[in-house]
Structure 1
């Protein structure tokens, strides 16, 4: 008896594959999360903004960690140098520079001191789990999947411009110099996403690879969405740390 193998599924064309990647961002990126919509409409109370800054910092400080893990997977000096710039963008080349420093200044401009941000003591459990999941994804998955997950940067520049406008219009109590992080990420995000997209389009030659890249990008969108879910839920729970004190009061 002769066994007939099913024909392999043809890969999408580069143009169609790129369109599908961009569609994931359009449909699943966290710019449409209710918390972000409230932020950009000016509906957040100062404590909600500070909670977001504090919890989001836990994600920000792990960006160079996940990028270092990606660098370890890259097989050429050219690619490692290219990705190393992302680490430098966040860590800086010396003290007082980089995206992490700019986020600390955002916190200070909003009334959150550095000790609180750096201690991580106010980070809610859901944010910790989401960030740990993303770091482990970059540690354990293929270079294609790890790089594809970064393609949320395709949508990030537009979000940064919207955020700058919203903060200037609705949250004038935040000192203007605190918005430097968002301003820097407009151009950095555009550059980073272009480089990552080129790699993903080059590496994903089969339909299986392409679907893996789409799944990785969807996962990253879920990470960002879950982070905001956790921040929003903590704000609804009450004043207790991480919601736990409030929960005990209701028992």
Structure 2
């Protein structure tokens, strides 16, 4: 099997998760393989292998063959990388379109009468994104809303002391995240927050006092606190932040509370 750390890391940055990277490397090394063979080599549960194969196929990294039992094979790295590149470019184009559709009209309108109240900035790199998150938490006076993936929720634990200080100042901290058994154990140290379980999260979102917010795409979405090519869009606009908070509140209200005894 080819799953050395050196080979897995670039695949994570192309948008695969750790299991997908392991299965793809197995297929590259084995050629055509069955789900059972992949499970035996990688140690990934047999039932989960089918889910991973389907995901790899949708991302353009593998193809399935109409055999019994079902077999699959890797798409060539050259073709797979091109597909991943096309997907990432499309994602950035959609993100750019969405942000500009919401912010450009506000900017144009406000310029007619006075200096703009809001603006947005691009923040590159996980360490810079982390600094901005810490700054937002420290400036919060009334509430902090956070929506994140499982690994991002794991990284949030590093901000525990700042979040505690905010809580002691009377700030309400509301969090929705993707929560599995492992993460649930980890986040017990954040039980002073109102944490609720959501099914899916591709990007992360943090806002304070319905005034300022940051939308983050973690690249890759792992539990490393410092290193990553994250893309953050920091927005200092009350109208945009309130717009995003409305979506957050809808998800938060419907989500199941993880620590019933936590107090807002």
Taking structure 2 as the reference length, what is the TM-score of the superposition?
0.25
State which structure, 1 or 2, has the greater radius of gyration over its C-alpha atoms. Answer: 2
By percentage of residues, which structure has more strand? 2
By percentage of residues, which structure has more helix? 1
Larger RCO, structures 1/2 (Cα 8 Å, 6+ apart):
1
